[in-house]
């Protein structure tokens, strides 16, 4: 799409299968960030590789904007429903941009509470820097799961961090919806050479273009 900035995609993938090297309760892992994690929930495994992914993006790629997107928590569907993904970010402008981008493209998004000073204590461990799952499942677990990931770049990191939990809207019944592709294109479209993406992006210079201009451009795109 003619992206003009330096863009990296990091795929955090692992096979969730039982084996002799499987993670066990009470294991302590040293993650790529250098922080230690006590395993108290073997079903909260995805966040371990996501934490490594954002740490890699920060340390090795030198990213100043890090967006992680994953089907992270079943609680997301309870927090924001089956149509809206949940967004957690350290930047209010980007929170608003995610919501607007979702409305522009149809991949809907709604904010979660970002409050690490109150919620990160859910991961307190006596033997490691943190546990990998919350102590109280009634205390905004989707927000806390995102904070686990953010902690591996640090809550004082000066860049923009955005976490999008897409657990519910990625499927309807037994079928995938393709959720997330349009959202990313809309959100980052302002840095693209594509004029239509420039129009729908909430962060682009043309984000507030009149509807008639957008309609004319859409017609030109369809003709092409």
The full set of domain ranges for the chain reads 27-200
C-alpha span between 47 and 208 (Å, rounded)? 36
Spell out the residues 6+ positions from residue 89 whose beta carbon is closer than 8 angstroms to its own: 95, 98, 111, 114, 160, 161, 162, 163
Q: What is the pLDDT of residue 18?
A: 84
Q: What is the pLDDT tens value at each position of the chain, 224 positions in all?
A: 888 889 999 999 988 788 888 889 999 999 999 999 999 999 999 999 999 999 999 999 999 999 999 999 999 999 999 999 999 999 999 999 999 999 999 999 999 999 999 999 999 999 999 999 999 999 999 999 999 999 999 999 999 999 999 999 999 999 999 999 999 999 999 999 999 999 999 985 443 444 555 455 444 434 33
Q: What is the pLDDT of residue 4?
A: 82
Q: What is the pLDDT of residue 213?
A: 52
- Find the Cα–Cα–Cα–Cα dihedral 50, 33, 55, 84, rounded to 10°: 40
Q: What is the pLDDT of residue 215?
A: 54
Q: Which residues pair with 130 in a beta bridge?
A: 37
Q: What is the pLDDT of residue 203?
A: 87
Q: What is the pLDDT of residue 208?
A: 45
- CA-nearest of 160, 68, 169 to 110 is 169
Contact criterion met (CB below 8 Å) for 57 and 65: no
The third-level CATH classification (topology) of the domain covering 27-200 is: Aminopeptidase (3.40.630)
The upper half-sphere exposure of residue 211, i.e. CA atoms within 13 Å in the direction of its Cβ, equals: 1
């Amino acid at each position: 799409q003619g992206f003009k900035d330096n863009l990296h995609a990091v795929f955090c993938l692992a096979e969730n299968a039982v084996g002799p090297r499987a993670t066990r309760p009470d294991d302590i892992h040293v993650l790529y960030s250098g922080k230690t994690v006590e395993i108290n929930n073997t079903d909260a495994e995805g966040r371990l590789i996501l934490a490594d992914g954002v740490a890699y993006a920060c340390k090795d790629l030198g990213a100043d904007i890090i967006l992680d997107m994953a089907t992270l928590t079943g609680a997301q569907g309870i927090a924001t429903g089956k149509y809206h993904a949940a967004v957690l970010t350290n930047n209010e402008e980007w929170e608003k941009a995610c919501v607007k981008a979702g409305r522009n493209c149809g991949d809907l998004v709604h904010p979660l509470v970002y409050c690490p000073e109150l919620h990160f204590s859910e991961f307190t461990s006596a033997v490691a820097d943190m546990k990998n799952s919350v102590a109280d499942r009634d205390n905004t677990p989707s927000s806390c799961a995102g904070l686990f990931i953010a902690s591996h770049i640090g809550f004082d990191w000066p860049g923009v961090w955005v976490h999008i939990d897409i657990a519910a809207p990625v499927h309807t019944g037994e079928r995938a919806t393709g959720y997330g592709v349009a959202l990313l294109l809309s959100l980052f479209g302002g840095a693209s050479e594509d004029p239509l993406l420039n129009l729908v992006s909430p962060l682009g210079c043309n984000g507030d273009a009149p509807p008639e201009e957008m309609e004319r451009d859409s017609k030109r795109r369809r003709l092409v």
